[in-house]
Amino acid sequence: MFLDKSILVTGGTGSFGHTFIPMILEKFNPRRVIIFSRDEMKQWEMAKLFENDKRVRFFIGDVRDRDRLYRAFDGVNFVVHAAATKIVPTAEYNPFECVKTNINGAMNVIDAAIDKGVEGVVALSTDKASSPINLYGATKLASDKLFVAANSYAGSHPTKFSVVRYGNVMGSRGSVIPFFHQIKDSGVIPITDERMTRFMISLEQGVELVWHAFEDMVGGEIYVKKIPSMKVTDLAEAVAPGIKHEIIGIRPGEKLHEQMIGEEDSLSTFEYDEYYKILPVINDWKHDPKRIKDGIKVEDGFTYNSGTNDEWMKVSELQDWLNKNIDNLGKI
């Protein structure tokens, strides 16, 4: 699908981009991969990893800048939209900036993709977008709605849009695993609430879900990967065995359990072997056989919640993953 194609990744110097770029170069041999981001130092450091690969290009820009996006999208076939303001406390205390990037930026990406003839766009979302209680989640829910509606907004233009939604990305920059690893020598691991659970997904699984979305989408689908949950106390034990836990209380904007599919979404959600798919309710697309394919409708009232998940990650499983990835924790 991506052979000899041009692919652009917004926010491409982040954790997702550092995994997506080498994986797609190796598997699909695209004509070029463009990393679009606003941090020149991150681009400089990342460029060193690909300095002998002429397929990799770097483009300084911000998704808030509509004109710059239009220039960057020239000749691009596919776009992965990974740029976001994503740290929950940062968003709570800088709400206007979060809205500018996560909502206004999404609108700019949509317009540029349609007007520049991009074939397909997949936007990255988060479990915090389902029944959000914090500003970050609320902006990502709005972004998800924009990308779903973009398939109608595009009119006669052929550009297709879809969304992938997943939970805590293991080992990514700013996530809990590198944080626990960094402070474990202090002898105390802070736990917000001992009941807390989180979904767990690897960066490689996230990349593969994006590939599947590009291959499968008709337009407007939200793809939710089936992944295990883990108690935060078990996560802490895996990272720092035997270290004392200190209960500090839930931070502003945090949930006890994360959710990727809410009860309201169950009316248009279908189950597949490895994922769920939330179909758009606009234009009656939730009844479209081309979008449903071989999916099985979930029961009304179904929720996909980290606290009631059927699949759980064991401490030993996370420790095995840590042993293989310890050198890269929080670095990409």
**pLDDT, tens only, 22-65:** 999 999 999 999 999 999 999 999 999 998 899 999 999 999 99
Lowest-confidence pick of 30-39, 103-112, 220-229, 246-255:
246-255
Q: What pLDDT digit, counting tens, does each position of 92-148 carry?
A: 999 999 999 999 999 999 999 999 999 999 999 999 999 999 999 999 999 999 999
Using CA atoms, how far apart are residues 230 and 21, in angstroms rounded to an integer?
28
Using CA atoms, how far apart are residues 166 and 229, in angstroms rounded to an integer?
12
The two structure tokens encoding residue 217:
């989408």
Q: Residue 51's CB: how many other CB atoms inside 10 A?
A: 8
Using CA atoms, how far apart are residues 221 and 150, in angstroms rounded to an integer?
11
The long-range contacts involving 282-289, CB below 8 angstroms and separated by at least 24 positions, are: 282/148, 282/149, 282/152, 282/220, 283/152, 285/219, 285/220, 288/218
Sign of CA dihedral 181, 204, 151, 2: positive
Q: What is the pLDDT of residue 331?
A: 64
Instruction: Let me know: does 52 contact 95? Beta carbons within 8 Å.
Output: no
In terms of Cα–Cα distance, which of 231, 159, 240, 238 is closest to 198?
Answer: 231
For 216-231, what is the mean pLDDT? Answer: 97
Round the average pLDDT of the chain to a whole number and report it: 95
Number of H helices and E strands in the chain, helices first, is: 12, 17
The residue type of 137 is G
Sign of CA dihedral 23, 29, 30, 34: positive
Q: What is the pLDDT of residue 168?
A: 86
Name the CA radius of gyration of the chain, rounded. Answer: 19
Percent of the chain with pLDDT over 70: 99
Q: Which fold has domain 6-168+200-226+259-304?
A: Rossmann fold (3.40.50)
Residue 251 has pLDDT above 90, yes or no: no
Instruction: Let me know: does 110 contact 63? Beta carbons within 8 Å.
Output: no
In sequence order, the 6+-apart residues with CB closer than 8 A to the CB of 156 are none
Using CA atoms, how far apart are residues 160 and 180, in angstroms rounded to an integer?
40
Residue 202 has pLDDT above 80, yes or no: yes
pTM, full prediction? 0.96
Q: Residue 307's CB: how many other CB atoms inside 10 A?
A: 16
Q: What b/e sequence results for 271-305 when a residue is b if at least 16 CB atoms lie within 10 Å of its CB, and e otherwise?
A: bbeebbbbbbeeeebbeeeebbeeeeebeeebbbb
Residue 82 has pLDDT above 80, yes or no: yes
Q: What is the pLDDT of residue 141?
A: 98
Laid out side by side, the sheet with 275-278 consists of 56-60, 32-37, 6-10, 78-81, 120-126, 160-166, 222-225, 275-278, 269-271, 296-297
Q: What is the pLDDT of residue 332?
A: 63
Q: What is the pLDDT of residue 6?
A: 98
Active-site residue list: 128
Domain ranges in the chain? 6-168+200-226+259-304
DSSP notation for 108-153:
HHHHHHHHTT-SEEEEEEEGGGSS--SHHHHHHHHHHHHHHHHHHH
Residue 326 has pLDDT above 90, yes or no: no
Instruction: Let me know: does 157 contact 118? Beta carbons within 8 Å.
Output: no
In terms of Cα–Cα distance, which of 77, 60, 70 is closest to 11?
Answer: 60
